[in-house]
């Protein structure tokens, strides 16, 4: 078969190229290794710094700084990047009704989803901690973390699926509602503003396991002496929790909260999979994608990306500070 | 064919220094990373020109005699790049296998599901294929703008006579014909169940009035069945089936001229004509008594995926669905499709009977980037009725609007139905409008506005305004000139202004379960005026 022969030839060329690349890679590697190894005396230390830090810096520069600068640049230009428009795109983002709705939704996500996930995680951590066979429960609750957000969204899309009340329901939520005596439950995905919260439930479902595991570890790390001392002083139950447990794991709670927050800000998959940003559920990350790659308005898409970046920035900074603090404590 | 290593091969590694310096060992890992980044840039050179050159003046005999016009280029290779993937592409390769065997021209086919974004990259990078099979007039225009598209040879232009003239327009940019259509597909179909119709004594309607009367009759007959079902949910592309409904109605109500003006933005969304068309759609697909069989109320259309939409037809809860010919792939495997089977389709009648046979659809265009003699030979062959017949014979699911193809070759009833409509010289064929409008309108606001129209019962005026309002700030050097005044002679849409590689229908047809997966990255110039 000429077709098969062609495919084989193609594969062989690619294979040869691959081998060549690996060989060249090993060669250069050995060279760098040799040079760095030979160096001694005054240049040894700067060279080591360069070889160790250089690649990371180059990757950061190429993968993070350059796109960042370019995105900021593009956000100041028109839809096809041909004309400088200054802050027009940002003005559009903050004054257009539909985009304002997007910003409000994003804010709702930002506040509710991380709080719910962390709170639920904390409660579960406390409850599961006292159960026998806690490893089993913990892995079960942690399991959704292993599912991608798109996968989780598809699962919940089936849960929220709705049929007319005269038809047989195929969505779990509608059927439950009917069993509970609600004759005509709404079409969940269309019920504004409920649908935004239903989407958040997916995020909470996925992230709760993560919060629980991390918080559970932190609770276990509280020295027994401290709890014992508190018990001897008469603290129990809620008081023990409020005055001992929470202060002792405060930094961990904050780190978990901010981590989930950052994930939430970037939540794009859930909205895209479940509603495509329709029915008033649009969030910033999805609108940015839609502007850039569906409507090809690079200027507006970039402006939204910059807004998103600025919103994440303080969270990341705070997160890192907290992480450092936590490390310093231990 | 010589594999050319792109990096110098290894020399013998120099011996390590005698003194071991443990402190520096971690360098290896870091250097590894650095080099990985460097070598990642290595490109593959996979071009291969197989065989011995030069066929000279060969004479083909026997089986091969019919390929004589294309002979004389033995031992050459022509590359074809397209978005059609296996197994569908296998049928393409089979369809020209005889041609290759006889003429000695090897056709090397490459399919990519990232075609729309890859093609511009390859063309501007100087690595253009000999041919690209382009499903969108907008992408064709973009390619022509790059200056790399080669005009077809005389024979290809002559072959074009077998297609109705409107196709030539869609293969042309600024009035110059570049790309011959290879295939056609039809969107103006209504899927129904012949079995259910027979049991209830319903007749396939021939006119719009009949269709509406039938819908009314079904609705009044009760029994839990509704005449229509529909679904417009499709991920990020949610709303596109609704744009099809509007386009069908505009085309069927006012004919090709107004349709072109609308797509071309000489008639706006706020125009009374379009508002009237939207009312027609509302009376049809937003009639609470008529939709959404098997799913619920009108609003449920917005949350039902287009793939699922027709399923209730099989259970008799819904009787009709307006969807394109590629919807055939959505029926369960054992569904009998045919005039007497479980499922079949009829041609959506024109709203206004004076519009002759309106057909909305799409197609694929063979775009050449080289003018070597063997490339032109292949181009001539692939634009001929011979090749179209060969492809039709190979497997079902491919329709050509070439009038030279014997219709008895179509073994699949839906293919046959589409071919009959598409080759009808009197038919008013128009390309899917939202594929021709700029992305910001066609893929952005129109989808969104029509989705909101179904989901929230937004008023027609507001929907029209929404679809129109989406005009981004304009100006700038690279921008195309404003739309020309409606010249009486240019009735057809010049797609040259739009550079929007989309063609959702084509994408959906290939990936029935996840239509929105292919999102091209090319940029779109501004919209000329307020839509």
Q: Where are the domains of chain B?
A: 62-186+361-431, 189-360+433-471
Q: What is the pLDDT of residues A199-242, one digit of tens each?
A: 999 999 999 999 999 999 898 888 888 888 888 888 788 888 88
Q: Are residues A137 and A268 in the same domain?
A: yes
Give me the percent of chain B exceeding a pLDDT of 70: 75
pLDDT computed for residue A201 by the predictor: 93
Q: What is the pLDDT of residues B227-276, one digit of tens each?
A: 999 999 887 778 888 989 999 999 999 988 899 888 888 888 888 888 89
Q: How far is CA B398 from the centre of its chain?
A: 12
> B477 CA to chain A: closest CA distance, Å?
7
> B426 CA to chain A: closest CA distance, Å?
36
Residue of B505 and B454 predicted with greater confidence: B454
CB A188 within 8 A of CB A194: yes
The partner residues of B358 in beta bridges, in order of sequence, read B428
CB B186 within 8 A of CB B422: yes
CB B264 within 8 A of CB B236: no
pLDDT computed for residue B181 by the predictor: 92
Q: Are residues A151 and A10 in the same domain?
A: no
Tokens of A157: 């899309």
Q: Does 3.90.870.10 match the CATH number of domain B62-186+361-431?
A: no
Q: Are residues A7 and A115 in the same domain?
A: no
Q: What is the pLDDT of residues A301-310, one digit of tens each?
A: 999 999 988 8
A window 30-69, beta carbon within 8 A of B: 30, 32-34, 36-38, 48, 51-52, 54-56, 58-59, 62
Which of chain A's residues have a Cβ under 8 Å away from the Cβ of B3? 12-13, 16-17, 20
Residue of A79 and B240 predicted with greater confidence: B240
Q: What is the DSSP string of B108-166?
A: EEEE-TTHHHHHHHHHHTT---SEEEE--HHHHHHHHHTT-PPPPPHHHHHHGGGS-HH
Strands B318-322 and B226-228, bridge-based pairing: parallel
Q: How far apart are CA B231 and CA A127, in angstroms?
A: 45
Grade residue A330 by pLDDT with cuts at 50, 70 and 90: low
Strands B77-82 and B106-111, bridge-based pairing: parallel
Q: Are residues A42 and A108 in the same domain?
A: no
CB B345 within 8 A of CB B417: yes
> B414 CA to chain A: closest CA distance, Å?
31
Of A61, A140, A34, the residue nearest B19 (C-alpha): A34
What is the dihedral angle through the alpha carbons of A194, A198, A204, A205, rounded to the nearest 10 degrees?
A: 150
> B346 CA to chain A: closest CA distance, Å?
28
CB B261 within 8 A of CB B274: no
For the CA atoms of chain B, what is the radius of gyration? 26
Q: Give the burial class of B148: count Cβ atoms within 10 A of its Cβ; 0-12 exposed, 13-18 middle, 19 or more buried.
A: middle
Of B231, B399, B404, the residue nearest B305 (C-alpha): B231
| Record: contact A272-B521, CB cut-off 8 A | no
Please give the CATH number for the structural domain made up of B189-360+433-471.
3.40.190.10
The partner residues of B81 in beta bridges, in order of sequence, read B110, B132
Last residue of a domain, one of A35, A53, A75: A75
Which of chain B's residues have a Cβ under 8 Å away from the Cβ of A24? 5, 7-10, 35, 39
Q: Are residues A219 and A310 in the same domain?
A: yes
3-state secondary structure of B470: coil
What residues contact B376, with CB distance under 8 A and at least 6 apart?
B152, B153, B155, B156, B368
Rounded mean pLDDT of B324-332? 87
Q: What is the pLDDT of residues B177-196, one digit of tens each?
A: 999 999 898 999 999 999 99
CB B382 within 8 A of CB B136: no
CB B309 within 8 A of CB B231: yes
Q: How far apart are CA A33 and CA A56, in angstroms?
A: 17
| Record: contact A294-B444, CB cut-off 8 A | yes
Among partner residues A2, A3, A20, which is closest to B7 by beta-carbon distance? A20
Q: What is the pLDDT of residues B446-493, one digit of tens each?
A: 888 888 888 877 666 667 666 654 433 333 333 333 333 333 333 233
Strands B106-111 and B172-173, bridge-based pairing: unpaired
pLDDT computed for residue A7 by the predictor: 67
Q: How far apart are CA A13 and CA A21, in angstroms?
A: 12
Tokens of A74: 């593009």
In a domain? residue A80: no
**Chain B CA closest to residue A91:** B473
3-state secondary structure of B262: helix
pLDDT computed for residue B321 by the predictor: 93
pLDDT computed for residue A258 by the predictor: 86
Which of chain A's residues have a Cβ under 8 Å away from the Cβ of B31? 28-29, 32-33, 36, 51, 55
Q: Are residues A57 and A119 in the same domain?
A: no
Q: How far apart are CA B182 and CA B362, in angstroms?
A: 11
Tokens of A261: 């927050």
CB A78 within 8 A of CB B473: yes
For the CA atoms of chain A, what is the radius of gyration? 26
Q: Which residue, chain included where needed, has tokens 């078969």?
A: A1
Q: How far apart are CA B236 and CA B444, in angstroms?
A: 10
Tokens of A78: 């028109």
CB B43 within 8 A of CB B72: no
Among partner residues B9, B32, B48, which is closest to A29 by beta-carbon distance? B32
The angle, 0 to 180 degrees and rounded to 10, between the axes of the packed helices A298-329 and A88-95 is: 80
> Residue B340: how many CB atoms within 10 A of its CB?
10
Q: Are residues A268 and A164 in the same domain?
A: yes
Query: Where are the alpha helices (H) located in B146-234, listed in sequence order?
Result: 154-159, 165-170, 194-200, 208-221
Range of the domain at A203: 88-329
Q: How far apart are CA A35 and CA A50, in angstroms?
A: 12
For residue B292, the surrounding DSSP H or E stretch is none
Q: Are residues A211 and A235 in the same domain?
A: yes
Rounded mean pLDDT of B46-63? 53
In a domain? residue A83: no
Of B270, B235, B251, B187, the residue nearest B505 (C-alpha): B187
The answer to whether A175 contacts chain B (CB < 8 Å) is no
Last residue of a domain, one of A75, A102, A118: A75
Domain count, chain A: 2
Which of chain A's residues have a Cβ under 8 Å away from the Cβ of B476? 78, 80, 82-83
CB B77 within 8 A of CB B49: yes
The partner residues of B431 in beta bridges, in order of sequence, read B361
Q: Are residues A169 and A293 in the same domain?
A: yes
Indicate which CATH number applies to the domain containing A239: 1.10.3720.10
Tokens of B463: 């929907």
In a domain? residue A82: no
Q: How far apart are CA A3 and CA B94, in angstroms?
A: 10
CB B432 within 8 A of CB B360: yes
Q: What is the pLDDT of residues A113-124, one digit of tens each?
A: 999 999 999 999
pLDDT computed for residue B384 by the predictor: 92
The three state secondary structure string of chain A is: CHHHHHHHHHHHHHHHHHHHHHHHHHHHHHHHHHHHHHCCHHHHHHHHHHHHHHHHHHHHHHHHHHHHHHHHHHHCECCCCCCECCCHHHHHHHHCHHHHHHHHHHHHHHHHHHHHHHHHHHHHHHHHHCCCCHHHHHHHHHHHHHCCHHHHHHHHHHHHCCCCCCCCCCCHHHHHHHHCCCCCCCCHHHCCCHHHHHHHHHHHHHHHHHHHHHHHHHHHCCCHHHHHHHHHCCCCHHHHHHHHHHHHCHHHHHHHHHHHHHHHHCCCHHHHHHCCCCCCCCCHHHHHHHHHHHCCCHHHHHHHHHHHHHHHHHHHHHHHHHHHHHHHHC
Q: How far apart are CA A272 and CA A289, in angstroms?
A: 10
Q: How far apart are CA B404 and CA B415, in angstroms?
A: 16
Q: Are residues A8 and A110 in the same domain?
A: no
Q: Give the pTM.
A: 0.72
Characterize B155-179 residue by residue with b for buried, 16 or more Cβ atoms within 10 angstroms of its Cβ, and e for exposed.
bbeebbebbbebbbbbbbbeeeebb
Q: What is the pLDDT of residues A150-209, one digit of tens each?
A: 899 989 989 998 887 777 888 899 888 888 888 788 888 888 888 899 999 999 999 999
pLDDT computed for residue A329 by the predictor: 61
Among partner residues A29, A62, A78, which is closest to B31 by beta-carbon distance? A29
Q: What is the pLDDT of residues A232-290, one digit of tens each?
A: 888 788 888 888 888 888 888 988 988 898 888 777 888 888 888 888 888 888 888 88
Tokens of B473: 């700030």
pLDDT computed for residue B30 by the predictor: 43
Last residue of a domain, one of A30, A51, A75: A75
Q: Report the residue of A6, A25, A273, A282 to disrupt the B interface, i.e. the one with the largest count of B CBs within 10 Å.
A: A25
């Amino acid at each position: 078969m000429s077709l098969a022969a062609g495919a084989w030839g193609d594969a062989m060329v690619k294979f040869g190229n691959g081998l060549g690349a690996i060989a060249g890679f090993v060669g250069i590697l050995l060279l760098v290794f040799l040079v760095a190894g030979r160096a001694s005396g005054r240049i040894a230390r700067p060279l080591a710094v360069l070889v160790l830090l250089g690649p990371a810096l180059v990757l950061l520069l190429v993968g993070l700084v350059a796109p960042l600068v370019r995105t900021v640049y593009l956000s100041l230009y028109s839809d096809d990047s041909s004309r400088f428009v200054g802050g027009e795109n940002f003005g559009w983002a903050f004054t257009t009704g539909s985009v304002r709705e997007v910003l409000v939704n994003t804010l709702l996500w930002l506040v509710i989803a991380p709080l719910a996930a962390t709170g639920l995680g904390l409660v579960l951590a406390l409850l599961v901690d006292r159960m026998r066979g806690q490893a089993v429960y913990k892995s079960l609750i942690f399991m959704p973390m292993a599912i991608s957000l798109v996968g989780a969204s598809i699962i919940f899309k089936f849960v929220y699926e709705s049929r007319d009340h005269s038809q047989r329901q195929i969505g779990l939520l509608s059927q439950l509602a009917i069993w509970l005596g609600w004759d005509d439950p709404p079409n969940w995905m269309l019920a504004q503003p409920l649908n935004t919260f239903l989407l958040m439930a997916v995020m909470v479902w996925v992230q709760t396991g993560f919060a629980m595991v991390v918080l559970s570890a932190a609770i276990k790390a509280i020295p027994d002496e401290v709890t014992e001392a508190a018990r001897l002083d008469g603290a129990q139950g809620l008081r023990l929790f409020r005055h001992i447990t929470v202060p002792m794991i405060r930094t961990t709670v904050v780190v978990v909260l901010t981590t989930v927050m950052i994930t939430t800000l970037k939540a794009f998959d859930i909205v895209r999979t479940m509603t495509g940003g329709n029915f008033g559920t649009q969030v910033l990350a999805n609108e940015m994608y839609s502007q850039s790659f569906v409507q090809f308005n690079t200027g507006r898409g970039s402006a939204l990306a910059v807004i998103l970046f600025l919103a994440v920035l303080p969270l990341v900074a705070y997160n890192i500070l907290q992480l450092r603090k936590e490390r310093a404590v231990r | 064919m010589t594999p050319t290593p792109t990096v110098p091969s290894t020399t013998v590694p120099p011996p390590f220094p005698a003194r071991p310096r443990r402190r520096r060992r971690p360098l290896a890992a870091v250097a590894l990373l650095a080099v990985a980044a460097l070598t990642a840039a290595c490109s593959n050179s996979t071009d291969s020109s197989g065989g011995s050159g030069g066929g000279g003046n060969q004479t083909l005999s026997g089986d091969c005699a019919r390929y004589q016009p294309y002979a004389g280029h033995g031992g050459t290779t022509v590359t074809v790049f397209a978005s059609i993937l296996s197994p569908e592409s296998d049928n393409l390769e089979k369809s020209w296998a005889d041609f290759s065997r006889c003429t000695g021209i090897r056709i090397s086919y490459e399919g990519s599901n990232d075609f729309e974004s890859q093609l511009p990259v390859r063309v501007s990078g100087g690595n253009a294929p000999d041919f690209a099979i382009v499903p969108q007039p907008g992408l064709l225009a973009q390619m022509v703008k790059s200056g790399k598209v080669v005009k077809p040879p005389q024979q290809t232009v002559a072959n074009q006579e077998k297609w109705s003239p409107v196709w030539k327009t869609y293969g042309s940019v600024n009035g110059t014909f570049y790309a011959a259509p290879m295939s056609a597909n039809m969107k103006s179909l209504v899927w129904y169940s012949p079995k259910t119709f027979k049991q209830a004594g319903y007749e396939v309607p021939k006119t719009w009035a009949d269709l509406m009367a039938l819908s009314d009759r079904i609705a009044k007959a009760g029994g839990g069945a509704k005449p229509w079902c529909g679904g417009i949910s499709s991920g990020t592309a949610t709303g596109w089936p609704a744009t099809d409904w509007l386009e069908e109605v505009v085309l069927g109500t006012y004919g090709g001229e107004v349709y072109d003006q609308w797509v071309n933005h000489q008639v706006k969304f706020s125009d009374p004509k379009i508002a009237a068309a939207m009312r027609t759609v509302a009376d049809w697909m937003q009639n609470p008594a008529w939709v959404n069989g098997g799913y619920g109320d009108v609003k449920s259309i917005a949350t039902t995926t287009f793939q699922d939409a027709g399923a209730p037809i099989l259970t008799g809860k819904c009787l009709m669905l307006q969807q394109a010919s590629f919807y055939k792939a959505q029926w369960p495997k054992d569904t009998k499709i045919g005039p007497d089977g479980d499922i079949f389709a009829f041609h959506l009648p024109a709203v206004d009977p004076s519009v002759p046979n309106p057909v909305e659809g799409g197609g694929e265009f063979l775009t050449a980037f080289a003018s070597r003699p063997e490339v032109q030979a292949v181009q001539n062959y692939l634009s001929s009725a011979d090749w179209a017949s060969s492809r039709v014979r190979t497997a079902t699911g491919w329709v050509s609007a070439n009038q030279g193809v014997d219709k008895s070759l179509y073994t699949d009833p839906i293919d046959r139905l589409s071919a009959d409509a598409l080759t009808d010289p009197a038919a008013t064929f128009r390309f899917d409008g939202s594929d021709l409008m700029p992305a910001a309108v066609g893929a952005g606001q129109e989808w969104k506005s029509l989705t909101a129209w179904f989901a929230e019962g937004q008023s027609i005026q507001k929907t029209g305004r929404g679809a129109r309002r989406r005009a981004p700030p304009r100006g700038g050097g690279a921008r195309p000139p404003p739309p020309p005044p409606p010249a009486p002679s240019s009735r057809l849409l010049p797609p040259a202004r739009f550079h929007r590689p989309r063609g959702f229908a084509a994408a959906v047809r290939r990936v029935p379960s996840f239509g929105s997966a292919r999102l091209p990255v090319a940029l779109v110039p501004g919209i000329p005026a307020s839509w």
